């Protein structure tokens, strides 16, 4: 048995064309050629029949949230470039609806710059920093925009926070030196402004805090990068007797 590792897979995937600007949603893609579409589409996916050499490579999240690689017929939302690879691999793809995007190559200079530093670094710390710069940009694009804000408060402040914030968890701090009861509170921040406005109509005179912490993310970029990663990995699955492989699924 041999073990292989793709060198900087996500960074390599980021060199492909990346979705940038969403265009107008298309309700009916039945007359659109898949090769002419770039974006994300709801598609009907069907595996070939009576092909003993066929290797399933199209992921699907089942009803309990588990990722499987099924055979048969189903519908799902996929990145167009992955659908094109499925079709070339024997799948029958029928586009239903979707959101087209413009595309660019925004990360080429970034990836080549830090990859060169990583490969030519003479010390471990420099190599590690360059590697993290390459790997973490992808994760940054796909992170959840709702974050947790941690507060240390007394009992009076806790009551106020419970009324004016979206509280995830409360932990009592034991054995405080001054005898005062203190609590660690985890609060949802960076929430949707429109949601706050709706809540505030119902809880007056109390007003929910409108946190201004900014967490930037881009699900389209993150989804495209993971799709390109799966495309690259799929070739190995199709051409070698694979025992196991890493799953590149965007949560």
Same domain, yes or no, for 167 and 100?
no
Same domain, yes or no, for 50 and 98?
yes
CA dihedral 115, 118, 121, 124 (to 10 degrees): 170
Which pLDDT belongs to residue 52?
80
Q: Report the half-sphere exposure of 54 (CA within 13 A, side-chain side).
A: 20
> Is residue 118 included in any domain, yes or no?
no
Which pLDDT belongs to residue 81?
97
> Is residue 232 included in any domain, yes or no?
yes
94 to each of 80, 90, 181, 225, how far by Cα in Å?
Answer: 12, 13, 61, 23
> Is residue 121 included in any domain, yes or no?
no
Same domain, yes or no, for 89 and 44?
yes
Which pLDDT belongs to residue 159?
84
Question: Contact, 69 vs 91, CB < 8 A?
Answer: no
Same domain, yes or no, for 99 and 222?
yes
- Which are the contacts of 73, defined by CB distance < 8 A and separation ≥ 6? 44, 45, 46, 47
**Could you tell me the pTM of the whole model?**
0.74
Residue 165: pLDDT over 80 = no
Same domain, yes or no, for 232 and 188?
no
Same domain, yes or no, for 197 and 224?
no
Domain that holds residue 167: 147-203
Q: Report the half-sphere exposure of 194 (CA within 13 A, side-chain side).
A: 0
Q: Could you tell me which of 72, 41, 39, 40 has the C-alpha nearest to residue 58?
A: 72
The secondary structure of 54-108, three-state, reads CCCCCCEECCCCCEECCCCEEEEEEEHHHHHHHHHCCCEEEEEEEEEEEEECCCH
Residue 136: pLDDT over 60 = yes
67-71, 120-124, 179-183: least confidently modelled range: 179-183
- What's the chain's length in residues? 251
> Which long-range CB contacts under 8 A does 50-54 form with residues at least 24 apart?
51/90, 54/90
> Is residue 173 included in any domain, yes or no?
yes
Which pLDDT belongs to residue 5?
80
Same domain, yes or no, for 99 and 15?
yes
Number of domains observed in the structure of the chain: 2
Where is pLDDT greater, at 195 or 1?
Answer: 1
Percent of the chain residues past pLDDT 70, beyond the cut: 83
> Is residue 211 included in any domain, yes or no?
no
Same domain, yes or no, for 88 and 154?
no
Same domain, yes or no, for 159 and 83?
no
Residue 236: pLDDT over 90 = no
User: 247 pLDDT band (50/70/90 cuts)?
Assistant: very low
Same domain, yes or no, for 62 and 22?
yes
Which pLDDT belongs to residue 7?
82
> Is residue 38 included in any domain, yes or no?
yes
Same domain, yes or no, for 96 and 177?
no
Same domain, yes or no, for 223 and 166?
no
Q: Could you tell me which of 35, 72, 13, 53 has the C-alpha nearest to residue 230?
A: 13
> Is residue 19 included in any domain, yes or no?
yes
> Is residue 208 included in any domain, yes or no?
no
Residue 246: pLDDT over 70 = no
């Amino acid at each position: 048995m041999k073990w292989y590792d793709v060198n900087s897979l996500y960074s390599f995937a980021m060199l492909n064309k990346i979705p940038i600007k969403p265009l107008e949603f298309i309700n009916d893609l039945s007359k659109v050629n898949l090769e002419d579409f770039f974006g994300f589409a709801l598609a009907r996916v069907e595996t070939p029949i009576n092909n003993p050499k066929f290797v399933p490579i199209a992921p699907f999240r089942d009803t309990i949230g588990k990722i499987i690689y099924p055979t048969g017929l189903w519908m799902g939302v996929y990145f167009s470039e992955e659908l094109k690879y499925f079709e070339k691999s024997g799948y029958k793809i029928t586009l239903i609806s979707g959101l087209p995007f413009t595309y660019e190559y925004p990360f080429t200079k970034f990836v080549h710059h830090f990859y060169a530093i990583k490969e030519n670094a003479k010390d471990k710390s420099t190599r590690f920093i360059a590697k993290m710069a390459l790997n973490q940009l992808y994760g940054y694009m796909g992170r959840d925009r709702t974050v947790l804000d941690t507060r240390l408060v007394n009992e009076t402040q806790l009551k106020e926070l419970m009324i004016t914030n979206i509280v995830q968890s409360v932990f009592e701090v034991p054995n405080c030196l001054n005898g005062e009861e203190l609590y660690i509170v985890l609060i949802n921040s960076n929430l949707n402004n429109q949601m706050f406005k709706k809540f505030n109509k119902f809880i007056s005179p109390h007003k929910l805090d409108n946190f201004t912490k900014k967490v930037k993310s881009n699900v389209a970029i993150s989804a495209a990068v993971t799709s390109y990663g799966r495309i690259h990995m799929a070739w190995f699955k199709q051409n070698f007797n694979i025992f196991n492989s890493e799953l590149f699924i965007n949560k």
